[in-house]
Structure 1
Amino acid sequence: MNAAIPDLPKHRHTTLEDIQALLLGTLLVASGVFLFHQDHLLTGGTVGASVLLSYATPLSFGLAFFILNLPFYYFAYRQMGAAFTLKTFASIALVSLYSHLLPMVLQIQSLNPIFASILGGTLAGVGCLMLFRHGASLGGFNIAALYCQSRYGISAGKLLLGFDLCVMLAGLWVVPPSAVLISVLSVVVMNLIITMNHRNGRYNGVS
């Protein structure tokens, strides 16, 4: 019989490592959202709900994203702790800021919507993964999914996929069905990245 593999020692992230993860992870997510906006696409989670609101109302994505997350801070503080809540607040603020600044420094003349959905989902998925591994999230559905995984062992990726499908259905009232269908690609890619990489015991770094 094979000998049991011992648990790897936990690696404590430094403050600098946490800061770079928050700065880069949120930039990746905001870049993904930027690509979705280029072809009027959707994505999942609170990010997707905020994109949907930005299409259906005069609110910008950044403002909608910030407002939608306000009710979740109390739950995050009570269930996940002050450090997680502060990092999540910072992450949400950064995504909102980046989303406001990116159109000023980046312009795309032509973009295939299928490629935009796949690349945008990849950027958002990797960005979320960075945040999760450094004790942060993008609020909303992310908080609920991370809590259920840490408390009950339910896969955060699978829970987020369920939330995301609800956002896709709501999108049918705002964007054409063809855009919703293409947007599903972003949800699948993003949640595959999270499900395959964010599992208990997979990563030994802690913040």
Structure 2
Amino acid sequence: MSTTARIPAAPVDGILGQIVKTMSRRMFGKVPESMGVLWHHKDALKASMAYGRKLDSWDKLDKNLSTYATMAAAATIGCSFCLDFGYFMAHNHGLDETKAREVPRWRESAVFTPVERRVMEYAEAMCQTPVEVTDELSAALLDDLGPAGLVELTTKVGFMNATARGNVALGIHSEEFADACGLAPLATPAAAAVTSSA
């Protein structure tokens, strides 16, 4: 599989480009290469970034649970950019990065609580076609999170599902944000490790 995006990057230019580059360097330490791909349609980029920031400001769902859920969705879809970026942001926001690095192998890992496992199971189920969320899982999460928390979880996973699928379709891959700040590599599921070593 190619590690090059399917659309050549455009120069991130103009006054808006300078603002975006300054903000990116401040937030991420660099300007993501994928920014140039999305720069071809600035309105789509701005809308996506604005909605993402709005979702990040919500507080009905614990921030760690939100991170595990969106990272689990990214892992299910296969978006290396989103998975790496989620891990990097968990570190930057002072969240539990030890657990965040384990998300790709959450079913095998012993570090997660039952609620955290249900949240990641829900995220995975939402990313299937057709959606595989069960009444039992929804009822358990309603007890765990309350109505507002479950709606927030669903909305954030839905947004990640769209973003991750878009990145995969465009050929946008990990830009190794986590490596750049010295984080340990993301854990790899045992089955995937066996397959990749064959």
TM-score by length of 2: 0.32
TM-score by length of 1: 0.31
